[in-house]
Structure 1
């Protein structure tokens, strides 16, 4: 069945079918946008549960109503999530236990214990770094496969370390693009806690990709001195809109539309969006791994996406990460917010690539 034949059979007012993204029956062949689920959170250094987000957001997405006030027939884009890769979740859970042992040891001041145990503890980062590199390669290969078929590719984490492979794949298709990072954290740490591919190091690693010409960070409000130094030493390549500065600008007379324009002006034509859910106010994502007071309202981000696309920017891909849905009680709220933000990201990406039309 072709995509158009499938669309003709769908009543968007019907109840969404559980187990289908947004309750719709699109698959890899009929969807224009492919989402890679990556259930991985090995290096999370505080709260856990993000590895379960792809499944929980998939479940919650069936409750999302399909009418978009800004976009005609947004659901016609066709979005499909690839099959859940259980092997990566199983490995993540095993390595997460190893990482916790190592992090606990660091936080205790690296006490001298039996020689055998100390040797073992020192080996953990190398083991985890090797496995994280394999995950990155799998993500890159999976993304490349679908990009080569003309699909738009996005990623649903998992922690914030997961999209590096997607960025590497996009760098083979686009000679120049920027990252719009929505986040509470700068993620510019160098091999944080000994883990080269830490969730706290993803932007440091992304900047090793020469095709990424600009990193624009917004909402940053929790960062270390070394990260601030990297920002200050790279003014041509990194522009950070700290949460405090954005709030103070609003308090002293600027409006969010003006600030959105300033943010968008810093970005090149092609834009990748890296969305850590902790960039939002933590009332919207209370179970995320490292919540920080402050942040954005849901509507502020959707307004920014609208402005970004209206300014003629092309969203070449995106990730949504750090939505914590496992090992926590009452996680439905986080998955609910995540599913709705995912819908908006998909829709505006479709408009930016000419797949959908604004109303």
Structure 2
């Protein structure tokens, strides 16, 4: 089994580790380019090329344990139940770090953490709003995952969106979903305080890699131009976690392409950089 930073870390037990990596190679509803089922494997393999020092600290000092990949065969509801169980187990030991797979996997994690923490806020990095009630008749589509989050009564804050339909515009307005879309991020200075007043102290970060500009990660199902740049993403993550407690995170929608090592490595670096930011922001 591939493990995160296997080339650098000694064997550990989950009890020894703060960060609990859960690979979820699920792909069922991608609507353009496919391949996200291979995303977790590619991230884990690329992580062997990372440096332990991330430029400011060594997140691995907190301990990183990689669980067995979730079984993603069978109907979507069954897969989501397995994801929920896996995240619940991981959360008993530390902070779940889920590697997807398509974005629909996030619902399983949200269900698990809802039971553990009650309410928490979701910080969503994404090219798409993912607020459709259903897509092509499927309520578990990757394009509907944030609509399912709203049904769980979890507040959402969106960053980097630049492709959405009129239905999603209406859902945003109805639920008063705060957001800073990609155009505003590109043309205006970042606010000193990112999350709005009243946003929960506990947060979950879901990072769809298509939120980044294709110049950073091209290997994703729908690489929409005009996305978030690398250092902008790092700064946004730092602002998002400031003064907050991160209860879990995920990196999803990498669709590896032969010969594109840069995208795989960037997704692995994003994952590790996120852990470093969380490590350094701990209260």
What's the TM-score once normalised by structure 1's chain length? 0.74
For each residue in 1:223-281, what CA deviation from the matched residue of structure 2 results, as whole angstroms up to 9, or x when unmatched? 0000000111111xx11212123323x2xxxx23xx25244657321111010000001
Measured at CA, do residues 220 and 143 of structure 1 come closer, stay the same or move farther in structure 2, by a change above 3 Å? same
Aligned residues of 2:162 and 2:183 also touching (Cα < 8 A): yes
Aligned residue for 1:114?
Answer: none
Aligned residue for 1:118?
Answer: none
For each residue in 1:162-209, what CA deviation from the matched residue of structure 2 results, as whole angstroms up to 9, or x when unmatched? 111111111112122111000000000111011110000000011111
> 3-state SS of the aligned residue for 2:104?
coil
Aligned residue for 1:300?
Answer: 232
In structure 2, stretches of 5+ residues that fail to align are none
Aligned residues of 2:15 and 2:93 also touching (Cα < 8 A): no
Aligned residue for 1:242?
Answer: 181
Cα deviation, residue 346, structure 1: 1.7
Aligned residue for 2:46?
Answer: 60
For each residue in 1:83-134, what CA deviation from the matched residue of structure 2 results, as whole angstroms up to 9, or x when unmatched? 234x42xx38xxxxxxxxxxxxxxxxxxxxxxxxxxxxxxxxxxxxxx1111
Aligned residue for 1:351?
Answer: 280
1:331 to 249, 256, 260: 260
Aligned residue for 2:199?
Answer: 267
For each residue in 1:40-68, what CA deviation from the matched residue of structure 2 results, as whole angstroms up to 9, or x when unmatched? 11000100111101111111101111113
> 3-state SS of the aligned residue for 2:128?
coil
Superposition pairs of residues 94-243 of structure 1, within 5 angstroms:
131-147=75-91, 149-210=92-153, 212=154, 214-235=155-176, 238-243=177-182
> 3-state SS of the aligned residue for 1:222?
coil
Distance 2:3 2:160 in 1: 32
Measured at CA, do residues 217 and 260 of structure 1 come closer, stay the same or move farther in structure 2, by a change above 3 Å? farther
Off by >6 Å, runs of 4+ in structure 1: none
Distance 2:27 2:237 in 1: 27
Q: As a proportion of its length, which structure holds more helix? A: 1
Cα deviation, residue 339, structure 1: 0.4
Distance 1:227 1:142 in 2: 30
Distance 1:39 1:293 in 2: 26
Measured at CA, do residues 69 and 266 of structure 1 come closer, stay the same or move farther in structure 2, by a change above 3 Å? farther
> 3-state SS of the aligned residue for 1:340?
helix
In structure 1, stretches of 5+ residues that fail to align are 1-17, 93-130, 355-359
Aligned residues of 2:194 and 2:239 also touching (Cα < 8 A): no
Distance 1:229 1:171 in 2: 26
Aligned residues of 2:127 and 2:161 also touching (Cα < 8 A): yes
Distance 1:221 1:142 in 2: 32
Cα deviation, residue 69, structure 1: 3.0
Cα deviation, residue 290, structure 1: 0.9
Q: Is 1:317 the equivalent of 2:255?
A: no
Distance 2:44 2:268 in 1: 7
Cα deviation, residue 27, structure 1: 4.0
What's the TM-score once normalised by structure 2's chain length? 0.92
> 3-state SS of the aligned residue for 2:146?
helix
Aligned alpha-carbon RMSD (Å): 1.9
